[in-house]
Chain A
Amino acid sequence: MTESRPPRPYANPYVAGIGLGLVLLAAFVIMGRGLGASGAFASGAAGLTAAAAPARATANPFFARYLSGDGPWREWLLFEIVGVILGGFLSALAARRLRFAVERGPHIARGTRLGYAFGGGAVMGIGAVLARGCTSGLALTGGALLSAGSWLFMIAAFAGGYLFAPVVKKAWR
């Protein structure tokens, strides 16, 4: 991070979107499944519960699903998320955007922002469990496959975001 040149500008969002669409299509063609993120968190949670309290984990139908097959630590989405972390890191490295920082709106304290990040993440976690997916696994993947539930989720998520945005306006604007 001793780079003195400024970071590169972001890509054209439409070009990036087409690129993302091709990545998703590659997942369909190679694996017969789409992308995902929340499934990796769920698999990790199942694995952790199974390590701490095996009987409780197997008795829990939500966790048990991730414990079948090859087990929670060999879940496809977990490996995919490791890739996401690697890919994000490499891209930021190449574009000189690696930086230790807490990104936030102009009128919010650092600690508050971190609290919002954790709290917002937790609320998203609850929503993702209920809906069986998140922006990647449900909205993006199912959106491209025209799943009815995915479009319902997408509309509901945007609605929830826009309706709640005025409440947390101070955090961002």
Chain B
Amino acid sequence: MNALAPFFELTDLGPGAALIVAVAIGIAFGWTLERAGLGSAPKLAGQFYFADLTVFKVMFSAIVTAMLGAFWLGRLGILDLSRVYVPETYLLPQLTGGLLFGIGFVIAGLCPATSCVAAATGRGDGLLVMFGMFAGVLGTGLAFGSISNFYASTARGSITLPQLLDVPYGAVVVAVVAMALIAFWWIRRFEPSFDATQTYDRAPSPPRFLAGEKAPKADEGAFEGTASEQDLLHDEHGVPASSASSARPPSSGFATFSPRKKRGGRRRSIREFGANLTVQFAWAALLLGALAAFAGSPYRAAHATVDVQRLARAVAHEEDHVTAIELAEWIRGRKAGLRIVDLRTAAEFETYHVPRAERIALESLATAPLHATDTIVLISGGGAHAAQAWVLLQALGYKQVYFLRGGLQEWIDDVMNPTILATAPPRAMAEFKRVGEISRYFGGVPRIVDKLEPRPANAAGATEGARSESSTSEAAAAIRRRGC
């Protein structure tokens, strides 16, 4: 059976539809965060003082839910899990970045997504976190040159915990479920007032305010708002919220402690039902997690079918490759959906690569984050690896795949160093003028010479031999030294 999902890759969902999906998913995301109270900075910051563990509860319930869902949809063959983009691992940058991020989080009280929710609900602090975040990203981006080496260090690719620990995927799934449930159970035991009707109504301010003590500072501290705004917040008995409790932040939903008429009763029973439901969900998660440990791999076998006739036709009609000049024109023309995939080693890629190219190793091509609608151009040193990768991507169902026929060498020869004999016929000269213009756009040096120098032997059709690879590297290094 063929997998149905991800829909974006396996159906005709276009880029426009993807953006509509983005907004829809975003709305659901923002809605859920706001419902949980994660648009309120004191509530998030409470996580770091063990005063309010909502962040932890929401985050790990979400991780367990999505992890189990992804595992089982993958296992049942509905979702092709290898096509879901797994964030890549860079050990040191992520360790350092994580520490910095955590420090920023406790200072700001909001993380990037929740700052957007806070800002959307009128919280000025949320807006300032958004501005700060933007400034931080912009500043780091502008200073990227000085951190790029560190940024790219200790790369481990899209490695998962099961791969790292060399254990079955399901074993990690059950371990994560068990850890989360033990943590939830532990929280439930030690969180004193855990009770379906009270916990979620609790204000984010410290319990001493709740006990009705005088908390003069809280009035101006925990809740920033004008007096008239506060006076608008009456409970159902018409008592102004500000006089009923000076520490009552309206955002907390604290007022539900006051007796309610009919609506309150119904809502309370819904909440009790919700609390019972979470216990049932916990059992379901435990069951699905335990079964996952014995269910085998969630990935589809990496087999694919090839329409040999179609591929042969594409090759015969020369629809399988592009020339370096064509590629240069695509880049300059900002062709939509263009993805330039460089298959060479990281070191070679660092030395020189075609502008806008991204490096993907041949081994990880099957799981690379490419889209069905992308126009993919494959580049290798000589050209043979790219041609082989072309077949693999065609087999995986990508239609608009091309390889740079002469490899990077052709790019260097034809785009970066185009040369022509001074005695060439006028028509060739006119064409050269056009090529020269493209070349200069990429910082190339077009030359008109009296005598053509012999080119390295690995232009079109050369094998991926050691000699051609090294001569490409030398040529690439020369381009780099030129400083473009």
Contact = CB atoms under 8 A, between A and B. Distances in A.
Interface of A: 1-35, 37-38, 41-42, 44-46, 48-49, 58, 60-65, 68-71, 74, 76-77, 79-92, 95, 97-108, 110, 113-114, 116-165, 168-169, 171-173
B247 to A, nearest CB: 8
12 contacts: A6-B253, A14-B281, A16-B35, A19-B35, A29-B7, A30-B7, A83-B30, A114-B124, A120-B110, A121-B104, A156-B98, A158-B102
B379 interface: no
A91 B114 CA distance: 13
B346 interface: no
A173 B47 CA distance: 12
Interface stretch (B224-232, B300-308, B380-388, B398-406): B224-232
Contacts of B58: 13-14, 16-17, 20
B221 A105 contact: yes
B42 interface: yes
Interface stretch (B17-25, B451-459, B460-468): B17-25
B49 interface: yes
A24 B196 CA distance: 26
B389 interface: no
B429 to A, nearest CB: 30
A169 to B, nearest CB: 7
A139 to B, nearest CB: 7
A84 B13 CA distance: 22
B57 A6 contact: no
Contact of B356 (A64, A113, A147, A163): A64
Given A32-B85, A89-B121, A79 B23 contact: yes
B36 A10 contact: yes
B8 A161 contact: no
A7 B250 contact: yes
B8 A80 contact: no
Contact of A12 (B83, B129, B274): B274
B348 interface: no
Interface string B80-103: 000111111111011111111111
Interface residues of B, number: 174
A71 B335 CA distance: 10
Interface centre among A24, A32, A90, A137 (most CB of B within 10 A): A32
B322 interface: no
- With a 10 A CB-CB cut-off, give which of B51, B94, B201, B224 has the most chain A CB atoms: B94
A18 to B, nearest CB: 5
A161 B102 contact: yes
B435 interface: no
B212 interface: no
B233 A6 contact: yes
Given A107-B221, A159-B99, A83 B205 contact: no
A4 B230 CA distance: 10
Given A25-B69, A123-B104, A7 B253 contact: yes
A105 B222 contact: yes
A28 B70 contact: yes
Nearest to A108: B221
B34 interface: yes
B70 A144 contact: yes
